[in-house]
């Protein structure tokens, strides 16, 4: 109950301040990390009916996590006084700016000042960027659906302890699975997602992430376990024509499977990996001929034939002499003008 209320407050601030999706995911990540490091945890038996003081402390923690996330992800400054003005007075227990700074100090101390940790959204953006060549297998509508499923995973408590990279990969695979209405996921998409993650995943980890995201998405859309305010925010965000109205797509609870290139039933972890290409050696310049040179630190030393070098040196010496004579003449004219204007201050050069 405590995490649900805090998540709805974060969704309210996200919608009211028009924040980025990276900010929302980082704020929820900070909130969960602080709860995991504190003695009060939402899954403990004592938190089944939290008191008003606990709810107020969780709301304060949510506001502070939102402000810390804004400092990292937002381009424009979000003032703390704006957040306090938006949130109803009773939810924060009359929190002032001084009290907000004190809560921020406690949060930073409990996290060890480690705030910029990658979230599932960061991994998802990396995977979608890596799968751009697969536009036919992964169109733009499926990409928006993957973002929708990952956003819904924020409201599912089962997604909290899971690895963020595997969760992002599961969001892409579930989106392809939902879009194709149960058809096995193409092996090219699974391989591209696995390469973007930087390594293989365990079958059990991917299975847990898939089941958690499918339960959050539901068979008829957004599941009931997602908080109401957060679910309505996601419906408005992904219900526009700009995002192909993917919020109205029904879910698919059938088991996820990969095509024949990955023999596992639910994961491509045992799929044969292509052999890495040998590293290409950069050819060092030989220094023969007029147009080649050798690299010496940050400078390039050109080696030219002797006759061309003599001509270049002669041309450079003549240019230096002409420029020097011109500069000397300018100095003399300037001195003569000063002597003519101030005859009493002029002196011998």
For 58-67, 178-187, 213-222, which range has the lowest pLDDT when averaged over its residues? Answer: 213-222
Domain boundary among 89, 110, 131: 110
Distance CA 136, CA 152 (A): 25
The set of residues, in sequence order, having a beta carbon less than 8 Å from that of 190 and lying 6+ positions away, is 173, 258, 259, 261, 262, 268, 271
For 39-43, 65-69, 138-142, 218-222, which range has the lowest pLDDT when averaged over its residues? Answer: 39-43
Do residue 137 and residue 91 come from a single domain? no
Higher pLDDT: 171 or 52? It is 171
Do residue 147 and residue 200 come from a single domain? yes
266 lies in some domain: no
Q: Is the pLDDT of residue 292 over 70?
A: no
Compute the chain's Rg from CA coordinates. Answer: 32
Q: Is the pLDDT of residue 277 over 80?
A: no
For the chain, the average pLDDT equals 78
Q: What is the pTM of this model?
A: 0.69
Domain boundary among 84, 110, 136: 110
Q: Is the pLDDT of residue 84 over 50?
A: yes
Percent of the chain with pLDDT over 90: 24
Do residue 147 and residue 244 come from a single domain? yes
Do residue 217 and residue 170 come from a single domain? yes
Distance CA 185, CA 257 (A): 6
Percent of the chain with pLDDT over 70: 74
Do residue 132 and residue 240 come from a single domain? yes
pLDDT band of residue 297 (cuts 50, 70, 90) is very low
Do residue 298 and residue 318 come from a single domain? yes
Do residue 125 and residue 244 come from a single domain? yes
Domain boundary among 64, 85, 110: 110
Higher pLDDT: 330 or 297? It is 330
DSSP 231-266: HHHHHHHSSSGGGTTGGGS----SPP-B-TTS-SSS
258 lies in some domain: no
Domain that includes residue 320, residue range? 293-341
Do residue 136 and residue 244 come from a single domain? yes
Number of domains in the chain: 3
The tens digit of pLDDT for each residue in 138-191 reads 899 999 999 999 998 888 888 888 999 999 999 999 999 888 887 888 888 888
347 lies in some domain: no
For 4-8, 192-196, 302-306, which range has the lowest pLDDT when averaged over its residues? Answer: 302-306
Extended strands (E) in the chain: 293-296, 299-302
What is the pLDDT at residue 32? 92
What is the pLDDT at residue 172? 92
257 lies in some domain: no
DSSP element (H, E) containing 293 = strand 293-296
Do residue 241 and residue 137 come from a single domain? yes
**Half-sphere exposure of 232 toward its Cβ, with a 13 Å CA cutoff?**
6
What is the pLDDT at residue 333? 78
Do residue 200 and residue 170 come from a single domain? yes
Higher pLDDT: 303 or 194? It is 194
Which of helix, strand or coil describes residue 115? coil
Tokens of 121: 């959204």
Q: What is the CATH number of the domain that holds 161?
A: 1.10.472
Which of helix, strand or coil describes residue 87? coil
Q: What is the CATH number of the domain that holds 100?
A: 1.10.472.10
Distance CA 34, CA 94 (A): 22
What is the pLDDT at residue 205? 85
What is the pLDDT at residue 212? 87
169 lies in some domain: yes
Q: Is the pLDDT of residue 300 over 50?
A: no
171 lies in some domain: yes
8 lies in some domain: yes
Do residue 68 and residue 137 come from a single domain? no
Average pLDDT over residues 20-36: 93
261 lies in some domain: no
Do residue 145 and residue 204 come from a single domain? yes
């Amino acid at each position: 109950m405590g995490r649900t209320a805090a998540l709805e407050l974060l969704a309210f601030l996200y919608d009211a301040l028009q924040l980025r999706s990276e900010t929302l995911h980082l704020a929820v990540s900070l909130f969960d990390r602080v709860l995991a490091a504190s003695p009060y945890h939402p899954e403990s038996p004592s938190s089944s009916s939290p008191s008003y003081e606990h709810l107020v402390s969780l709301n304060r923690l949510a506001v502070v996590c939102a402000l810390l996330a804004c400092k990292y992800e937002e381009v424009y400054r979000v003032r703390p006084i704006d957040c306090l003005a938006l949130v109803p007075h009773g939810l924060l227990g009359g929190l002032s700016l001084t009290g907000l700074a004190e809560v921020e100090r406690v949060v930073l101390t409990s996290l060890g000042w480690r705030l910029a940790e990658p979230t599932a959204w960061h991994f998802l953006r990396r995977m979608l960027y890596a799968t751009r060549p697969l536009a036919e297998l992964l169109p733009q509508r499926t990409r928006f659906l993957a973002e929708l499923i990952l956003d819904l995973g924020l409201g599912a408590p089962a997604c909290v302890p899971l690895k963020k990279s595997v969760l992002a990969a599961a969001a892409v695979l579930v989106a392809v699975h939902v879009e194709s209405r149960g058809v096995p996921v193409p092996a090219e998409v699974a391989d591209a997602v696995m390469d973007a993650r930087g390594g293989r995943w365990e079958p059990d980890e991917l299975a847990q992430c898939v089941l958690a995201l499918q339960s959050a998405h539901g068979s008829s859309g957004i599941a009931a376990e997602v908080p109401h305010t957060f679910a309505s925010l996601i419906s408005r965000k992904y219900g526009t024509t700009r995002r192909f109205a993917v919020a109205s797509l029904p879910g698919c609870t059938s088991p996820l499977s990969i095509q024949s290139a990955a023999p596992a039933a639910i994961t491509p972890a045992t799929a044969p990996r292509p052999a890495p290409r040998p590293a290409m050696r950069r050819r060092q310049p030989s220094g023969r001929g007029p147009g080649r040179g050798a690299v010496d630190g940050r400078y390039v030393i050109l080696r030219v034939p002797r006759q061309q070098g003599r001509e270049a040196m002669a041309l450079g010496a003549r240019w230096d002499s002409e420029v020097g004579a011109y500069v000397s003449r300018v100095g003399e004219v300037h001195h003569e003008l000063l002597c003519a204007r101030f005859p009493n201050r002029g002196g011998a050069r």
